[in-house]
Chain A
Amino acid sequence: MTAAEEPLLAVERLSVTVGALRAVDDLSLELRRGEAVALVGESGAGKSMTAVALLGLTPPGARVEGSIRLDGAELVGAPEPELRPVRGRRIAMVFQDPATALDPVQRVGRQVAEQIEAHQDLSPAAIERRVVDLLEEVRLPRAAEVARRYPFQLSGGMRQRVAIAAAISCDPGVLVADEPTAALDAVVQAEVLALLEELRRKRGMALLLATHDMRAVASVADRVAVMRAGRIVEQGPAQEVLRRPREEHTRALLRTPAAASAARGSSARAVEPALLEVSELEVSFRPRRSILARNGGGEPVRAVDRVSLEVRAGETVGLVGASGSGKTTLARSILRLVEPSSGSIRLDGRELTGLSERALRPLRREVQGVFQDPAASLNPRRRVASIVAAPLLRNGGGRADARERATGLLERVEQSSEHLHRFPHELSGGQRQRVGIARALALEPRLLILDEPVSALDAPVRAQVMDLLARLQSELGLAYLLISHDLELVGRVADRVAVMDAGAFVEEGTARELVEKPSHPATRALVAAGYAAVREPK
């Protein structure tokens, strides 16, 4: 048999059982030299477990059955001393979140070096040179300096590049990347994917990319395997699977938030008076100062820089920008969760800035927020019923009445009332976000500030939640301020879109205008990150 016929990595009938859960179920997969295969599925489909099983790193107590052969050598059941030289040398791995996958208290150069040390007998000086070369290869500027930094001093994208540098340091034949871009924002995602693709070609490395992001699949993979509940449900050449998916589950993964645009009306809204009017809003943070610091702790950081914005009743205004551009701070200042330094926020013509918490209270009913991470924004120790009813009770509702309204609210967000007695952790991500929306609706607001409402969710769930938001908008006549890093997503639902960069609005227009004629570099980066063109809704 020649090398071309024999797959580099052959997984046959692999099953991984953890407790009662069959995380990977009878999975067979082949990876040839230099080939890129995408393993696609929602979170919990078994992608990560498959990935760690390839390195023999399943959690203690997990039962692994079947066969994993690397160049003909069996890895399942191989003793630790045989596995260790394989890990990091022949099969290397890049993890999802570079913020946690790097040791916080070691310099990043050291963390690349230790992988080389583990497999090669080189002098410290030679290793140091290799580290710098590798950091340059992953396109980190001033590599020698970066090597001496700690992870917390680097951005998310830079950290992921460091992790990739470590992974390729011993020239592995197989690189396993488990959702390598899921924790990064859209612009950086595209860059990291491009880097992985470039390295794969240059080094002739096989790439197994576990992801839930179909856009990533399209740009990188030769072949695709779609996973669901531990099994592969569909497998084939990437173009074929993406264009003509055979399985309903694959189609669901491919579906992006499109339907949401259907329910929207005409541009007649332009004549309606503004519900929310923000003008010249500025939010600065002064770095915390110590009474002993002589020169007062440094310059204030201007997170929101003279931003003006209008939202009319019933319309959707989009706000896009990379992470760190000030979107969330703007949202929080409109909700008066952070105090603006200057400027004005008017709701129905009434000025909100400067109002005392007490005077603000009745107005708070009108504007509610839905936050990015439903796992973090719901109190983990309260049941759904009490989470949804809390705003009602706090605004002078009776207990029984609140309970009844909570049931109604859950129905509104398409949740069964039996969820009322569950805790947030007993719900899925999508269900939790629905609860978050129900809570926001409790006081019958007219404006919802949606801060990355779906970015923590998988593609199919994301589409469902966006559909729900569209339905609620048309039923209840809500206005949305939709904040996201995803221009494509925002473009599908927003009447108008503003692009934010370094705290200020740099460009505004319809999504189509922004995509077709982006004038600011920040907009161009966001457009490039979106890959596919945005379809302007009719």
Chain B
Amino acid sequence: MTRFAARRLASMALVLIAVSFLTFLIFNVIPNGDPAVRMAGRAATDAQIEAIREDWGFDRGILAQYGETMEKLFTADLVSYFTRDNVVDEIVARAPRTLALAVGAAVLWMVGGVAVGMYGALRAGGRADRAVTVLALVAVSVPVFWLAALASHYLGFRLGLFPNGGYVAFAEDPLGWVHHLLLPWAVLALGLGALYSRIMRANVLDALGEDYVRAARAKGITERRVLTRHVLRNSILPLVSLWGLDFAAVVGGGAILVESVFDLDGVGQYAASGIDSLDVPVVLGVTLFAAFFIVVLNAIADIVQAALDPRVAER
């Protein structure tokens, strides 16, 4: 188990280095990507551009540039090419918003998905199950920005049940925090929760047909125990690693649309602006932030799964 965890951690570091280097490389080879030209502005002379190039070190080898950028990133000295804002500070300021959004939504879609999936499976083929199936299909298909816009317009603006976008820090006003995040959470969780409910339903149906469930019933233990001990646990297992991946994907950019509609000003929105202006330091910072979460959560999901399912650790 410890070896398993250690190996997982080592491979994480490799992935992060590879991701950051590739990102850096991509932004150095795309057309019109020369940051010196863009920084100098429209009426710049060649000499000015050259000066910027020298000043920022763009004339050096790509490996050297990459090394320097990474060093600056890790010492929190990296600044945006265009706004000169410190990239790490900007991300750190926005991260709580994105994380608050993602964590709440993740809990919501996991718990909701498991509950709805279990319910559907236990009533498989019945009217309730069919209704839930149709609803889940709708929920999966609805584009998240459209749903976000509708929810924000009707529930927020028209009915005034929820604030019209924005974010309040938890430390300042816990209730306000929840109030501001409730709609974004629900909107973000709906699609994934519906998807999870479908997976869960199938898993539960599979488990119910397993010999060990029949054997558990033959032992004379109560149906509730059969369901919680044997069916639920075996059915949730496959969802755990998926959960880690999806959560990381949301943190690493999947929440951009919801962040934008509800004006949460999170990391996703920052990333969008960085990509828009080909601002390499911003993009690199955000990419690493996202990759870090994806990799870390993936590893955590694997470790959790290994703890829940001893067969995984054994490989």
Instruction: Give me the interface of A with B, judged by CB distance under 8 Å.
Output: 52, 55, 57, 80, 84-89, 92-93, 95, 97, 100-106, 114-115, 117-119, 150, 152-153, 163, 166, 170, 288, 290, 292-293
7 more contacts with CB within 8 A, not counting A52-B218, A104-B309, are: A55-B217, A80-B223, A84-B220, A87-B220, A103-B212, A103-B234, A292-B11
List, sorted by A's number, 7 A–B pairs whose CB atoms are closer than 8 Å: A87-B217, A88-B219, A95-B214, A106-B230, A115-B221, A153-B314, A288-B315
Interface residues on B, range: 20 to 34
Checking A89, A101, A104 against B220 with a beta-carbon cut-off of 8 angstroms, the contacting residue is A89
B residues near A106, Cβ cutoff 8 Å: 229-230, 233
**B-side contacts of A87, CB under 8 Å:** 217-220
Chain B residues within an 8 Å CB radius of A153: 310, 314
Chain B residues, CB < 8 A from A166: 219
Q: Are B7 and A57 in contact (CB under 8 A)?
A: no
Interface of B is mostly: helix
The 6 A-B residue pairs with the shortest CB-CB distance, nearest first, are A88-B220, A87-B220, A100-B211, A115-B219, A88-B219, A118-B221
Segment 236-271 of B: residues with Cβ below 8 Å from A: 237
- Whether a CB of chain A sits under 8 angstroms from the CB of B42 is no
Interface string of B94-136 (1 = CB under 8 A from A): 0000000000000000000000000000000000000000000
Q: What residue of chain A has the Cβ atom nearest to residue B124's Cβ?
A: A60
In the complex, per-residue mask of B209-231: 1 if CB is within 8 Å of any chain A CB, else 0: 01110111111111101000110
State A252–B222 Cα separation when bound (angstroms).
42
Segment 264-315 of B: residues with Cβ below 8 Å from A: 308-311, 314-315
Q: Return chain B residues, CB-CB under 8 Å to A114.
A: 216, 219, 221, 225, 229
**Majority secondary structure, A binding face:** loop
Closest Cβ of chain B to A488, distance in Å, is 29
Contact: B212 with A102, CB < 8 Å?
A: yes
User: Closest residue of chain B to A112, judged by CB?
Assistant: B219
Question: Which parts of B15-59 form the interface with A (CB within 8 Å)?
Answer: none
Q: Which residues of chain B are within 8 angstroms of A92 by Cβ–Cβ distance?
A: 218-219
Which chain A residues border B229 with CB–CB below 8 Å?
103, 106, 114
Is B10 engaged at the interface, CB distance under 8 Å to the other chain? Answer: yes
Tell me whether A152 and B218 are in contact (CB under 8 A): no
User: Bound state CA distance, A216 and B11, in angstroms?
Assistant: 53
User: A52 vs B217: C-alpha distance in the bound complex, in angstroms?
Assistant: 10
Scoring A84, A86, A105, A293 by chain B CB atoms within 10 A of each residue's CB, the highest score goes to A105
- Closest chain A CB from B202 CB (angstroms): 18
Complexed CA–CA distance, A100 and B207 (Å): 11
Contact B7 A292 (CB under 8 A): yes
| Shortest distance between the CB of B220 and any CB in chain A (Å) | 3
Chain B nearest Cβ from A442, distance in angstroms:
36
CA distance A354 to B299 in the complex (A): 41
B residues whose Cβ falls under 8 Å from a Cβ of A: 7, 10-11, 210-212, 214-223, 225, 229-230, 233-234, 237, 308-311, 314-315
CA gap between A105 and B216 in the complex, in Å: 13
Nearest neighbor of B223 in chain A, beta-carbon distance: A80
Cα A153 to Cα B311 with chains together (Å) = 9
Which of B11, B218, B311: most chain A CB closer than 10 A? B218
Q: A104-B212, A105-B234, A163-B215 are in contact. Are A290 and B220 (CB under 8 A)?
A: no
Contacts of B311 in A (CB 8 A): 104-105, 150, 152
**How many angstroms between the C-alpha atoms of A85 and B219 in the bound complex?**
9
Residues of A within 8 A of B310 (CB): 105, 150, 152-153
Q: What CA separation (Å) do A424 and B177 show in the bound complex?
A: 60
Q: Is the CB of B233 within 8 A of A105?
A: yes
Q: In the bound complex, how far is the Cα of B224 from the Cα of A290, in angstroms?
A: 42
Contact B10 A88 (CB under 8 A): no
Q: Please, which residues of chain B bring their CB within 8 A of the CB of A119?
A: 220
**Quick one: which of B10, B210, B225 contacts A100, CB cutoff 8 A?**
B210
Q: Is the CB of B315 within 8 A of A103?
A: no
Is the beta-carbon distance between A103 and B221 smaller than 8 angstroms? no
B212 touches A118 (CB 8 A): no
CB distance from A296 to the nearest CB of B (A): 13
Q: Which residue of B lies closest to A99 (CB)?
A: B211
Contact partners of B237 in chain A: CB under 8 A: 105
- Of all chain A residues, the one with the shortest Cβ separation from B211 is A100
Pick the contact of B211: A55, A97, A117 (CB < 8 A). A97
Bound-complex Cα distance A105 to B234 (A): 7
Shortest CB-to-CB span from A436 to chain B, Å, is 26
Give min CB distance, A173 to chain B, whole Å: 14
Q: How far is the CA of A375 from the CA of B71 in the complex (A)?
A: 59
Closest to A152 in B: B311
Whether A102 touches B215, Cβ cut-off 8 Å, given contacts A85-B220, A114-B225, A293-B7, is yes
Cβ–Cβ < 8 Å partners of B314 in chain A: 152-153
Question: CB distance B215 to A104 under 8 Å?
Answer: no
Give the residues in chain B near A117, CB-CB below 8 Å. 221
Query: What's the minimum C-beta distance from B9 to chain A, rounded to whole angstroms?
Result: 10
Could you tell me the distance between the alpha carbons of A323 and B113 in the complex, rounded to whole angstroms?
A: 42
Taking the nearest CB of chain B, how far is it from the CB of A80, in angstroms? 8
Query: Nearest-CB distance from B59 to chain A (Å)?
Result: 36
Measured in the bound complex, the distance between the Cα atoms of B83 and A404 in whole Å is: 78
Instruction: Look across to chain A and name the residue whose beta carbon is closest to the beta carbon of B215.
Output: A101
Complex Cα gap A65–B288 (Å): 67
Residues of A within 8 A of B219 (CB): 87-88, 92, 114-115, 118, 166
Neighbour of A88 across the interface among B212, B218, B308, B309, CB < 8 A: B218
Q: Check A88–B221 contact: CB distance below 8 A.
A: yes
CB pair A84–B216 under 8 Å, yes or no, is no
A261 to B215, CA, bound (A): 42
A118 touches B220 (CB 8 A): yes
Q: Which residue on chain A has the smallest CB distance to residue B9?
A: A292
Nearest chain A residue, comparing its CB with the CB of B221: A118
Residue from the set B220, B233, B314 with the largest chain A CB neighbour count within 10 Å: B220
**Which B residues are in CB contact (< 8 Å) with A288?**
315
Which of these, B7, B211, B215, B222, contacts A84 with CB under 8 Å? B222
Once A106-B229, A152-B311, A293-B7 are accepted as A-B contacts, the answer to whether A101 and B211 lie under 8 Å apart by CB is yes
Most chain A beta-carbon contacts within 10 A, residue among B10, B215, B308: B215
Chain A residues whose C-beta falls within 8 Å of the C-beta of B315 in the assembled complex: 288
Contact of B234 with A55 in the complex, beta carbons under 8 Å = no
Q: Give chain A nearest CB distance to B27 CB in angstroms.
A: 28
